[in-house]
Amino acid sequence: MTTQHTAQKAMLIATGLTAACALAACGGATSDDENGSNGNGDGRAESGSAAETGVSPLLLLGDSVAAGQALPLGQALAESGGYFIDETSTGGGNVLGPNAEAQWEDLPERLEAAADGVVVYQLTSYDWGTPDEQHDAYEALAEVTSEVNADLILVSMPPIEPDEFYADHMDELATAAEAAQNVAGEDEAVEFLDATAVWGATYSREHDGDIDRSDDGIHTCPQGAARFTSWLLDELSELYPGFQPADPDQWANTGWSSDETFTGCD
Amino acid sequence: MSHAPHAPRHSRPEPATRRFLEISTKQNSRTDGSEARALTATKPWAYVSSLDGLRGLAIAGVLLFHTGHLDGGFLGVDLFFVLSGFLITGLLLRETSGTGSVSLRRFWARRLRRLFPALATMLAAVTLTVWWLERAAAGMAANGEMVRTTLSDGPWVQLHLINWHLLAQDAGYWDAFGQSRLFAHLWSIAVEEQFYIVWPAILLLTAAVIGSVIGVHRRRDPVVLGWAVILACGLLAVLSLTLMILLLEPADPTRVYTGTDTRAFSLLLGAAAATEPARLLFRHLLQLLGRAAGTVTALLTAGILTSWFLADGTDAAGLFTGGLFAHATASAVLIGLCAEHHARPERGREPLQAVLESAPLRWLGQISYSLYLWHWPVIVLMAPELPGLSGWAHTSVVLGISIALAAASKYLIEDPVRFRAGWARGTTGAVVFAMASAALLALWLLLPQPAGPQIDVTRI
């Protein structure tokens, strides 16, 4: 995985040059818009009740792992009357570790979209650093979140099966959750959610016979992303009394599972 | 691993170009200095058989890399890049020296005739095959995910932007993420296509600057034009290398490995080697070396091939901070020496030439474009899990099928369209191209995508 900002810009420029063809070609080949996963379309169907509970707008920060989870979450939140903003980033999204500086350059501005709502940061597989550095980064995130009058929810990352890329950083990743928990303990506007209930303590591709995780050992698969979404909505309903999550029947099979974000799942 | 290398370019001026060169030579009867030099200094390299041998080496490296037998075989792509820059620039410079300009329309039409038919055929055949395999549940490696990525990647291949699309999709070249992408290897074809679109315009601009600064007639002087191109190549290549170093993420160098900007130096170094001053340099070098020229050239080749055996993917020390640049430089020098040696048959046939001009290696080079197109889909679809196949046995089957498909593509599609199909030229050719492009677009858009996995709501 690599930071893609430059590539994305270049792609956008090139796409502009070939707009007609690209639009025709890609309109049917991607499903983001259809899924409302980027905060568009269905994601804008915010209801007054969801906003009143404080759970909307909900902005998700994270890396490419979270990007997969954003797909059902966007659908589920929309069906629950919330406004979802996907600010995950493939190959990045981390608030410390490699290229975090790039994330911080415009993070405060991006978080403005979550004003009076919730920012969910799923700890990323790039959150490399000492416990103190992790603590400082999460604390800094809490500060910029509070500046837009939003709550911050820190969520532990799914355990991974490290390849060479991650092998040297597993000790650092192991301390991230505790650092996040400490920040939550020090700041009333910050909550920490341990997603071990969803993923287990160690990487497991299957859960009750279903494929939950990608065979790359890192990312999630649709069934796992759906289970995470259901769990997170339940947690939100506890944190925000009055918020009523939509039934999974309303969002689980709406087409998002065919998004090419999910790889290694068949 | 989804690396993929490249494809071939021509070594032989196409018939129309050859006719043009002959005509322009006869018509150039003026005897002012630059015109005379244009006529005398640029005797075409024409077809250089040893360059086909180099293509053969390059595609062999790639094939061995993708089948897990040569960790540094990905450097074959770099050799392809340098060859492409060299050959294309040679054609463009000859045209510029002959006419003072370049017909972009004719250039791009030639590129399309050369590259599009085989590519379009492979795209359509692979897409329909994987789609059918998935629907028929025919096993092998085809699955819904593969069909979805194939249908979504296809338009980007067609737009020659697949390298940027894959980067945006986070499809790292060096990890297993791209395993299900049948067109992942076409990133390098996209890099070359983007170069073909931009480079002629840069050459035209360079010629125009020469014309405005030192006189219109001087832009046809191959030496003056050559030095200007070398200057442009040098500046752009250094910029490209600088970008590679600055944008490098050691943990995953996919961005710098597949980005057009960061790989441009290989094409540019090849381009610089095709200029008249470089050609004179190679000529003098061969004269200086005398009988030792063959040994030096063989050692240079051995050095390049040794780097393929020593390089270990991203772990190769300094690969992205100068190593690739050094490889491309060595490749450019080797190509220049081979071409110049070929232009002076009186030097005799050195052992290296004998190897590079051997029939099997040249044939491999001649089918390298189609072989490059086909080999990766075959490798992905014929996973090693196939019963009873593993190791070299599996490799042999995969390569055998790939070579058979490539040969069919070369003799049934590439060559007929390039050399014999009158309908592939002019207005008719443009109409056919538009229709084929529209058909491919329809394929991506209309072929039903497999549904994603059904979520079991009772278990979430």
Residue A7 pLDDT more than 70? no
DSSP string, chain A: ----HHHHHHHHHHHHHTHHHHHHHHHTT--HHHHTTTS-GGGG---HHHHHHT--SEEEEE-HHHHHHHHHHHHHHHHTT--EEEEE-TT---SSSTTHHHHHHHHHHHHGGGTTSEEEEEPPTT--S-HHHHHHHHHHHHHHHHHTT-EEEEEPPPP----HHHHTTHHHHHHHHHHHHHHHHH-TTEEEE-THHHH-SS--SEETTEE-B-TTSSSB-HHHHHHHHHHHHHHHHHHSTT--PPPHHHHTTSSGGG-TT--S--
pLDDT, averaged across chain A: 83
Residues 6+ apart with CB under 8 A from A53: A240, A241, A242, A243
Question: Would you state the pLDDT for residue B388?
Answer: 67
| Residue B191 in contact with partner chain A when CB distance is under 8 A | no
For B148, which residue in chain A has the nearest alpha carbon?
A260
Kindly determine whether residue A226 and residue B253, on different chains, have CB atoms separated by under 8 Å. Answer: no
Residue A238: band (very low, low, confident or very high) from pLDDT cuts 50, 70, 90: very high
Q: How many CB pairs under 8 A join A and B?
A: 156
Most confident of A166-170, B33-37, B239-243: B239-243
Rounded percentage of chain B residues whose pLDDT exceeds 90: 60
Taking the CA of residue B307 and the nearest CA in chain A, the distance in Å comes to: 23
For the segment A11-22, what is each residue's pLDDT rounded down to a tens digit? Answer: 333 333 333 333
Kindly determine whether residue A262 and residue B452, on different chains, have CB atoms separated by under 8 Å. Answer: yes
Residue B175 pLDDT more than 60? no
| Residue B159 in contact with partner chain A when CB distance is under 8 A | yes
Kindly determine whether residue A2 and residue B152, on different chains, have CB atoms separated by under 8 Å. Answer: no
Kindly determine whether residue A262 and residue B169, on different chains, have CB atoms separated by under 8 Å. Answer: no
Residue B65 pLDDT more than 80? yes
* Closest-CA residue to B225 (of B12, B46, B81, B37): B37
* Closest-CA residue to A186 (of A139, A122, A248, A236): A139
Residue A25 pLDDT more than 60? no
Say which of A28, A208, A263 has its CB closest to residue B177. A263
For the segment B142-160, what is each residue's pLDDT rounded down to a tens digit? Answer: 788 889 889 999 999 999 9
Question: Would you state the pLDDT for residue A42?
Answer: 40
Question: Would you state the pLDDT for residue B44?
Answer: 55
Question: Would you state the pLDDT for residue A18?
Answer: 38
Instruction: Residue A256: list chain B partners with CB under 8 A.
Output: 452
Residue A46 pLDDT more than 80? no
For the segment B244-301, what is each residue's pLDDT rounded down to a tens digit? Answer: 999 998 777 889 999 999 999 999 999 999 999 999 999 999 999 988 888 999 999 9
**Which residues between 15 and 44 in chain A have a beta carbon less than 8 angstroms from any beta carbon of chain B?**
15, 18, 21-22, 24-30
ipTM score of the complex?
0.77
**Which residues between 97 and 156 in chain B have a beta carbon less than 8 angstroms from any beta carbon of chain A?**
143-146, 148-149, 151-152, 154-156
For B174, which residue in chain A has the nearest alpha carbon?
A1
Question: Would you state the pLDDT for residue A52?
Answer: 80
For the segment B294-342, what is each residue's pLDDT rounded down to a tens digit? Answer: 899 999 999 999 999 999 876 788 999 999 999 999 999 999 999 988 8
| Residue B172 in contact with partner chain A when CB distance is under 8 A | yes
Residues B277 and B284: their CA atoms lie apart, in Å, by 11
Instruction: Residue B247: list chain A partners with CB under 8 A.
Output: 6
Question: Would you state the pLDDT for residue B11?
Answer: 33
Instruction: Residue B460: list chain A partners with CB under 8 A.
Output: 223, 226-227, 229-230, 248, 252
Range in A140-154, A159-173, A218-232 with the lowest mean pLDDT = A159-173
Kindly determine whether residue B441 and residue A28, on different chains, have CB atoms separated by under 8 Å. Answer: no
> Could you tell me which residues are beta bridge partners of residue A87?
A61
For A231, which residue in chain B has the nearest alpha carbon?
B460
SS3 for chain B is CCCCCCCCCCCCCCHHHHHHHHHHHHHCCCCCHHHHHHHHCCCCCCCCHHHHHHHHHHHHHHHHHHCCCCCCCCHHHHHHHHHHHHHHHHHHHHHHHHHCCCCHHHHHHHHHHHHHHHHHHHHHHHHHHHHHHHHCCCCCCCCHHHHHHHHHHHHHHHCCCHHHHHHHCCCCCCCHHHHHCCCHHHHHHHHHHHHHHHHHHHHHHHHHHHHHHHCHHHHHCHHHHHHHHHHHHHHHHHHHHHHHHHHCCCCCCHHHHHCHHHHHHHHHHHHHHCCHHHHHHHHHHHHHHHHHHHHHHHHHHHHHHHHHHHCCHHHCCCHHHHHHHHHHHHHHHHHHHHHHHHHCHHHCCCHHHHHHCCHHHHHHHHCHHHHHHHHHHHHHHCCCCCCCCCHHHHHHHHHHHHHHHHHHHHHHHHHHHHHHCHHHCHHHHHHHHHHHHHHHHHHHHHCCCCCCCCCCHHHC
Residue B397 pLDDT more than 70? yes
Most confident of A36-45, A69-78, B15-24, B444-453: A69-78
Question: Would you state the pLDDT for residue B32?
Answer: 41
Say which of B145, B151, B453 has its CB closest to residue A263. B145
Residue B50 pLDDT more than 70? yes
**Which residues between 155 and 194 in chain A have a beta carbon less than 8 angstroms from any beta carbon of chain B?**
163, 165
pLDDT, averaged across chain B: 85
For the segment A139-148, what is each residue's pLDDT rounded down to a tens digit? Answer: 999 999 999 9
For chain A, list the domains and their CATH numbers.
Answer: 52-258 (3.40.50.1110)
Instruction: Residue B263: list chain A partners with CB under 8 A.
Output: none
Instruction: Residue A255: list chain B partners with CB under 8 A.
Output: 452
Kindly determine whether residue A26 and residue B172, on different chains, have CB atoms separated by under 8 Å. Answer: no
Kindly determine whether residue B168 and residue A4, on different chains, have CB atoms separated by under 8 Å. Answer: yes
Residue A166 pLDDT more than 70? yes
Residue A31: band (very low, low, confident or very high) from pLDDT cuts 50, 70, 90: very low
Higher-pLDDT residue of A208, A175: A175
Higher-pLDDT residue of B126, B15: B126
| Residue A230 in contact with partner chain B when CB distance is under 8 A | yes
For A31, which residue in chain B has the nearest alpha carbon?
B152
**Which residues between 83 and 142 in chain A have a beta carbon less than 8 angstroms from any beta carbon of chain B?**
90-91, 98-99
Question: Would you state the pLDDT for residue B288?
Answer: 93
Taking the CA of residue B399 and the nearest CA in chain A, the distance in Å comes to: 25
The residue-averaged pLDDT of A59-84 equals 95
For the segment B111-133, what is each residue's pLDDT rounded down to a tens digit? Answer: 999 999 999 999 999 999 999 98
Range in A46-55, A213-222, B228-237, B430-439 with the lowest mean pLDDT = A46-55
Taking the CA of residue B5 and the nearest CA in chain A, the distance in Å comes to: 20
Instruction: Residue A29: list chain B partners with CB under 8 A.
Output: 151-152, 154-155, 444-445
For B455, which residue in chain A has the nearest alpha carbon?
A223
Question: Would you state the pLDDT for residue B83?
Answer: 97
Interface test with A, best of B169, B182, B254 (most A CBs within 10 A): B169
Higher-pLDDT residue of A65, A99: A65
Instruction: Residue A262: list chain B partners with CB under 8 A.
Output: 145, 452
Instruction: Residue B449: list chain A partners with CB under 8 A.
Output: 258
For A197, which residue in chain B has the nearest alpha carbon?
B460
Residue A48 pLDDT more than 70? no
Interface test with A, best of B131, B153, B160, B170 (most A CBs within 10 A): B170
Residue B29: band (very low, low, confident or very high) from pLDDT cuts 50, 70, 90: very low
The residue-averaged pLDDT of A116-139 equals 96
Residue B135: band (very low, low, confident or very high) from pLDDT cuts 50, 70, 90: confident
The residue-averaged pLDDT of B411-419 equals 94
For the segment B181-216, what is each residue's pLDDT rounded down to a tens digit? Answer: 899 999 999 999 999 999 999 999 988 888 888 877
For B166, which residue in chain A has the nearest alpha carbon?
A7
